[in-house]
C-alpha cells in the first residue's frame, strides 16, 4: 500500500510538471518578443497598415455588390475614378471580361432577405487595381445596408489577395440616425498569412460616419466617411512575435472614389505606450503613408 501511495504521488508530480511546461509554452507563444523598439515600431506599423488595406477592400466589396444589398458602383463590382488615375476593377467590359462569379441565394424565399452572396475569384483573378485575388468572399445580409439596423457578416473560403491568405469575420452594421449615415465596421479574429509562414493577427471596431455626399443618396461615388475607433494586432516575423494596439488620434477619411485611406493619423502603442505614428496624408488619393519612429519619418507603400 505504501508503494501504491508513492506511485500515485509520483504520477501527480509528473502530471503537474507536464501541465506547467505546456502552460509555459503557450504563454511564451503569445508574448511579445524582446526586440528593439525601432524594429517593433516599424514592423507593427507596416502590419497594421497592410491589414487596414486588406479589410477596407472587403468593406468596399461587400458594400458594392449591388443596389439590392448595398450601393453598386464601389468595390470589385464597380468602377471608380481616383481623380488622377482612372481605373476599373475587373468588371464586365469588352476588353477585360469578368474573371469572378457572383452567386445570390435567398435564405428564406420568396423574401428578399436574408440573402447570401458569394463572390468567387476562382484560382486567380487579376484586377485593374493591381491586386490578384482568388477564393471566395461569402456574405450574409439581413437587409440592404443603407437601411438602419441592417447587418452584413462576411467570412472567407480559401481567399487570398496577392498571395496573402485572408481569414476572420468581417461585419458591417448600419447604425445610422436621422441626421447621419453611420456604419459600425468590425473585424473579429482577422488573420493574414504570407507564403513564408509569417502572419498578422488583427481585430478592429470602428465607426464610419458620412461627412460628404448627402445630396446624392443613390450615388455613392461622391461619399466621404470619417472613421474613428481602435484596433489591435500581433505579427509574427521569423522567430519574433510582437503585439500592439492602434488608436486613431486624428480621424481617418475614406472616399469611395479611392481604394485607400486618404487622410488621418494612427498611433501604434506597445503596452499603452506610443511607439510610432502612421500618417495617411492630407487628402490626396495615393497608396502612400508615412511612419514616424523616434522622430525619424519614412514613407511606405500601402
Q: What angle do CA 26, 244, 263 make, to 5 degrees?
A: 150
Say if CB 99 and CB 89 are below 8 A apart.
no
Torsional sign, CA 257, 84, 259, 229: negative
The DSSP output letter for 281 is E
pLDDT grade for 3, boundaries at 50, 70 and 90: very low
For the ranges 20-29, 212-221, 239-248, the lowest mean pLDDT is seen at: 20-29
The 3-state DSSP class for residue 20 equals helix
* pTM given for the model: 0.82
The pLDDT score that the predictor gives to residue 6 is: 42
Residue 73 CB coordination number (10 Å)? 19
**Residue 76: per-residue pLDDT:** 64
Among residues 140, 141, 145, 173, which one has the least CA distance to residue 70?
145
Share of the chain above pLDDT 70, in %: 80
Q: Which residues pair with residue 289 across a beta bridge?
A: 300
268, three cell numbers: 501604434
Contacts of 131 (CB under 8 A, 6+ apart): 57, 161, 162
Could you tell me if 269 and 68 are in contact, meaning their C-beta atoms sit under 8 angstroms apart? no
More confident residue, 286 or 81: 286
Question: Would you state the pLDDT for residue 30?
Answer: 52
CA angle 149, 154, 156 (to 5 degrees): 175
At 171, is the secondary structure helix, strand, or coil? strand
Region 230-249: what's the mean pLDDT? 96
The more confidently predicted of residues 137 and 87 is 137
**pLDDT over 70 at 15, yes or no:** no
Alpha helices (H) in the chain, listed in sequence order: 2-29, 37-63
Q: Which of 244, 239, 234 is nearest to 278 (CA)?
A: 244
How is residue 42 annotated by DSSP? H
Pick the range with the lowest mean pLDDT from 90-99, 249-258, 291-300: 90-99
Task: Work out the angle at residue 58's Cα, subtended by the Cα atoms of residues 63 and 48, and round it to the nearest 5 degrees.
Answer: 135
Give the contacts of 15 (CB within 8 A, at least 6 positions apart): none
Residue 126 cell numbers, joined: 487579376
User: Is 31 in contact with 282 (CB distance < 8 Å)?
Assistant: no
Residue 214 neighbours by CB under 8 Å, 6+ apart: none
Main-chain dihedrals φ then ψ at residue 3, nearest 5 degrees: -65, -40
Contact at 8 Å (CB) between 69 and 112? Answer: no
Give the Å distances, CA to CA, from 296 to 47, 257, 261: 18, 31, 22
Amino acid at each position: 500500500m505504501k508503494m501504491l501511495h508513492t506511485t500515485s504521488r509520483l504520477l501527480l508530480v509528473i502530471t503537474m510538471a507536464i501541465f506547467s511546461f505546456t502552460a509555459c509554452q503557450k504563454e511564451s507563444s503569445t508574448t511579445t518578443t524582446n526586440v528593439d523598439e525601432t524594429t517593433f515600431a516599424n514592423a507593427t506599423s507596416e502590419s497594421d497598415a497592410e491589414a487596414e488595406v486588406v479589410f477596407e477592400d472587403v468593406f468596399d466589396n461587400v458594400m458594392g455588390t449591388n443596389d439590392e444589398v448595398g450601393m453598386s458602383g464601389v468595390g470589385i463590382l464597380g468602377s471608380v475614378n481616383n481623380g488622377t488615375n482612372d481605373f476599373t476593377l475587373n468588371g464586365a467590359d469588352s476588353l477585360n471580361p469578368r474573371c469572378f462569379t457572383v452567386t445570390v441565394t435567398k435564405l428564406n424565399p420568396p423574401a428578399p432577405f436574408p440573402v447570401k452572396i458569394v463572390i468567387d475569384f476562382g484560382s486567380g483573378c487579376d484586377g485593374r487595381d493591381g491586386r490578384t485575388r482568388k477564393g471566395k468572399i461569402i456574405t450574409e445580409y439581413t437587409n440592404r445596408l443603407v437601411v438602419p439596423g441592417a447587418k452584413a457578416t462576411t467570412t472567407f473560403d480559401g481567399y487570398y489577395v496577392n498571395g496573402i491568405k485572408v481569414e476572420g469575420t468581417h461585419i458591417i452594421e448600419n447604425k445610422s440616425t436621422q441626421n447621419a449615415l453611420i456604419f459600425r465596421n468590425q473585424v473579429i479574429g482577422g488573420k493574414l498569412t504570407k507564403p513564408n509562414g509569417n502572419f498578422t493577427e488583427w481585430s478592429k471596431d470602428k465607426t464610419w460616419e458620412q461627412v460628404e455626399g448627402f445630396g446624392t443618396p443613390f450615388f455613392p461615388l461622391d461619399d466621404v466617411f470619417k472613421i474613428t475607433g481602435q484596433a489591435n494586432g500581433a505579427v509574427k516575423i521569423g522567430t519574433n512575435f510582437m503585439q500592439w494596439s492602434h488608436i486613431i488620434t486624428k480621424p481617418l477619411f475614406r472616399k469611395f472614389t479611392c481604394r485607400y485611406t486618404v487622410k488621418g493619423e494612427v498611433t501604434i502603442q506597445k503596452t499603452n505606450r506610443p511607439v510610432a505614428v502612421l500618417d495617411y496624408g492630407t487628402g490626396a488619393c495615393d497608396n502612400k503613408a508615412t511612419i514616424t519612429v523616434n522622430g525619424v519619418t519614412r514613407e511606405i507603400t500601402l
